[in-house]
Amino acid sequence: METFEELDDWHRELRSHFPILTDGPDQAYLDSAATAQKPRAVLDTVQHYLTTANANAGRGTYTWANATTALVERTRTRVAAFLGDPAPGRPSGVHFTSGTTEGLRTIARDWLPGHLRDGDEIIVPFADHQANLLPWLEAQQQLAGQGVRIRVRELPYDPASHDYDHRALPALVTGRTAFVAATHVHHVYGGDMNVHRIRAAVGPDVPICLDAAQSVGHLPVDVGGLDVDFVVFSGHKAMALPGTGAVWARNTRGAAFRPGGWSGTPNTCGIASLEAALDWLDAAGTDRIRRWTTALAGRLTDGLRGCAAYRILGCQQSLAADSTVQRREGIVTFRHRAIPSNDLGFVLASHGLMVRADGHCQGRAGESESSVRVSLHAYNSPAEIDRLLAVLRSL
């Protein structure tokens, strides 16, 4: 309650920046883990770029081409600074992608095989988003075709909290552990996966790749504090245009990350939108965004726990923001005990409540049954949560 009162003015002002929300007040967009809505500053930046400087980057010597090349290089530095990199470009680097899937796949295809030797082991998550599992398994297969055998081990989970089992992890680490992939915030259970604890378990030399699709733009992400080697995220989930994303690479453990092949024309207006989105997020304050979305998630979990018909997946409590155990970010996933989740999704949609109801692209060890996911951002309001709860209670 305190958070809502304290941040009420901030929230009202901020919500007014989203034309899609102010033009459709009867609709409650509760699917920001899939993609986020765009503030006017991002939309205006795209319009401005396309009407004043649209050209290709890294080719041409005329004004618009130079402006576009400068935009792309400036946004690389902007992404690194947004992630807390104290010295962008020295030796770290930023590579633009269409999203997290392409970013992880590029690391698995262009960097990982050269880093691994016969008999090496990698530790990867089997119940996170499949974008953070399939590329590693494909790399294993590709290497097997070349006679290089890699052992893939499952990053262990604690079944009660759905956090990683950080106590079990050290026992999996051997002298051949050469790479770890993890997820910052779980896209189904909403838990902060305490990835800052992985470095101590794996030692100083093992590269760690972080899927930050559900954290960048939602909470402060600091590559220094996390001591990871890759941060991969989707710009479109952080309020930039669809088809945007980036890989930040530290480039100090193993070879430097140099995506292979000719990648062609970059998504220049997407990159312009990404720069504007990061500026907007910094001005809004990712620490305040986190407080707000955590409080909204708490309101929803508290409301659902009072309803016997619903079961919340993952951590059963809305943990306080300062919890050292596990923090639930702005994602709450649940099932009705009798109504199939897909049907529930249609019912909610008929009330203007836009949620996701399916299996959420979870990896091999994920839930076998679909569920309803409510995922929140700074623009969502307590009134929207109350509307959702009223409909859920009426069923």
User: In sequence order, which ranges of the chain are alpha helices (DSSP H)?
Assistant: 2-6, 8-15, 19-22, 40-52, 63-82, 100-110, 112-115, 134-145, 169-172, 198-202, 223-226, 268-284, 286-305, 341-350, 382-394
Give dist(CA 89, CA 387) in Å, integer: 47
HEC string of 35-86 equals CCCCCHHHHHHHHHHHHHCCCCCCCCCCHHHHHHHHHHHHHHHHHHHHCCCC
Residue 178 or 209: the one with the smaller Cβ distance to ligand PLP is 209
Residue 34 or 43: the one with the smaller Cβ distance to ligand PLP is 34
- Residue pair 223/233 in contact by the 8 Å Cβ criterion: no
Residue 237 or 336: the one with the smaller Cβ distance to ligand PLP is 237
- Residue pair 83/222 in contact by the 8 Å Cβ criterion: yes
What is the DSSP code (8-state) at residue 197? G
- Residue pair 143/113 in contact by the 8 Å Cβ criterion: yes
CB of 23 to ligand PLP, least distance (A): 25
* Closest-CA residue to 198 (of 218, 212, 217, 184): 184
Residue 209 or 272: the one with the smaller Cβ distance to ligand PLP is 209
CB of 207 to ligand PLP, least distance (A): 18
Element (H, E) at 154: strand 151-154
Residue 189 or 334: the one with the smaller Cβ distance to ligand PLP is 189
CB of 366 to ligand PLP, least distance (A): 12
Query: How many Cβ atoms sit within 10 Å of the Cβ of residue 158?
Result: 15
Q: Which two tokens stand for residue 88?
A: 């962008």
CB of 149 to ligand PLP, least distance (A): 27
User: 228 CB contacts (<8 Å, ≥6 apart)?
Assistant: 182, 195, 198, 199, 208, 209, 210, 250
Residue 326 or 381: the one with the smaller Cβ distance to ligand PLP is 326
CB of 309 to ligand PLP, least distance (A): 27
Binding site for ligand PLP (CB under 6 A): 33-34, 99-101, 129, 131-132, 183, 187, 211, 213-214, 234, 245
CB of 237 to ligand PLP, least distance (A): 6
Residue 100 or 370: the one with the smaller Cβ distance to ligand PLP is 100
Tell me the residue nearest to ligand PLP as measured from the CB.
Answer: 99
CB of 32 to ligand PLP, least distance (A): 10
CB of 277 to ligand PLP, least distance (A): 14
Q: Which two tokens stand for residue 364?
A: 């091999």
Residue 122 or 212: the one with the smaller Cβ distance to ligand PLP is 212
